Chains A and B, each alone.
Chain A
Amino acid sequence: MCLGIPMQVVAIDQYVARCAAKGVERDVSLFMLMNDEVKVGDFVMVHVGYAIQIMTEADARSTWELLDQVLAAEPLPNA
């Protein structure tokens, strides 16, 4: 539950941001970042559907690479 996924903000409607990561889009709550100015185009670390911090694009991309490796290494539960 703690790994978190970086996503890029595509659109914002009040507390909900449409966010994208590697071709997948989903709604993300910005309720934990109301003190911060989140803008369209920003990258955020998403944890269980909530953005927990703003991050740089470079850090988002390096985390995506890491996630690719983690997912590639994970065999199916019945393997």
Chain B
Amino acid sequence: MSSTTTAQEWLERLRHLPLEQPLRLMNVCGGHERSITQAGIRSLLPDMVELIPGPGCPVCVCPEEAIYAAIQYALHHPVTLVAFGDMLRVPVNVPKGEVRSLEEAKAQGGDVRPIASPTEAVAIAAAQPERRVVFLAAGFETTTAPIAAMLAQGAPENLLVLSAARLTWPAVAMLLQSDTPGFEALIAPGHVATVMGPEEWSFVVERHGLAAAIAGFSPESLLAATWSVVRQSVEQRPFLDNCYGELVRPGGNRRGKALLDEVFEVVDAPWRGIGIIPASGYALRGDYRRHDVLNQLPDYAAEQRRRAGEMPPGCDCAKVVLGKIYPIACRLYGEACTPRTPVGPCMVSDEGACRIWWSAGHRQHST
């Protein structure tokens, strides 16, 4: 289809598709969800087409244990703790009165600094070679490949990594292998596919027979992908469409993937509130393990604690992340949990569905 097709024209084409039964689409990228919500795309779709936000927020699924460990490093060791800004306000489950976020650890005197790029972590470590710098590294492939680049290029030895990095597709695979995936077509993430290549989403079509399309971040690209998967479903001819050809090329960013393979190995890994997802986490490999925080500091993540690894009490973030409920169906949404006083990570992160819905003006609590 022409890249100059407007959003209005895509909507018109969508309405003309002879869809006979409801079709649930899942998107798995916080950037997609932001565009969809801010452009009001959901309300413009045909009634039979439902678009559900799924696992697309790395901050939201960052293990509670990893954040707890980062807080302990900042409080009890002479280190500088760096993390992407979103991570600083995510609460952990600790008894009342104890430090429950990196932001609180900073207020207690911990040397906690938000960063926007791995290159800043390198600069901070290089500027103070006698002091350990611990990088709480949460993110999906788009963030982890730059972290791999950072280490492969040669990072200072005092830069230690606490890896909470995750792969995107295994969460989708886990949902599809469950009894209740909750969707019949997939909008695949544009920048993950830019780095990893479109091919890693083929399993949705080949193994599960579902329609799939990779989308960019404009309403036009998202609607092109929506139209594609609806048409594929109507015609019962699923294939993996690429509606973000501007950036997504066969094989992806080969250099980025080679760096990931060189620095990290893929391991079974916990997702907050969800549990272990097989082959879904990045752990340092081989000689790069010398940058593993556990080589030099205690393993606080392994501490036995009440509610370790869980979402905060009463918080439905895990259900939101898995696309089981919409943000407004959470009991806490807009009541106890707002961006000013967030309870769950989905209300903290710019990529969390709750935060995105709140920012777009959704105030109605609904069950």
Contacts and interface: CB of A to CB of B under 8 A. Distances in A.
B246 A59 contact: yes
B191 A75 contact: no
Interface string A65-79: 010011001110110
Nearest to A4: B191
Query: In terms of DSSP, what is the predominant structure of the interface of chain B?
Result: helix
Interface string B157-169: 0000000000000
Given A29-B119, A69-B38, A63 B255 contact: no
Contacts of B218: 62-63, 66
Q: How large is the interface on A (under 10, 10 to 19, 20 to 34, 35 or more residues)?
A: 20 to 34
Contact of B34 (A3, A15, A77): A3
Contact of B194 (A15, A53, A66, A77): A53
B61 to A, nearest CB: 13
A56 to B, nearest CB: 7
A62 B247 CA distance: 13
Interface in B117-174: 117-120, 139-140, 142-143, 145-146, 149, 152-153
A4 B31 CA distance: 9
B359 A74 contact: yes
A24 interface: no
Nearest to A59: B246
B334 interface: no
Interface of A: 1-4, 15, 27, 29, 31-36, 45, 47-50, 52-53, 55-56, 59, 62-63, 66, 69-70, 73-75, 77-78
**8 shortest interchain CB distances as A-B pairs:** A49-B117, A50-B146, A59-B246, A31-B149, A3-B31, A2-B31, A32-B256, A35-B255
23 contacts: A2-B140, A2-B351, A3-B217, A4-B31, A27-B119, A29-B149, A31-B152, A32-B145, A45-B191, A45-B194, A45-B247, A47-B191, A48-B117, A50-B119, A50-B145, A52-B195, A59-B247, A66-B35, A66-B217, A70-B34, A77-B339, A78-B339, A78-B340
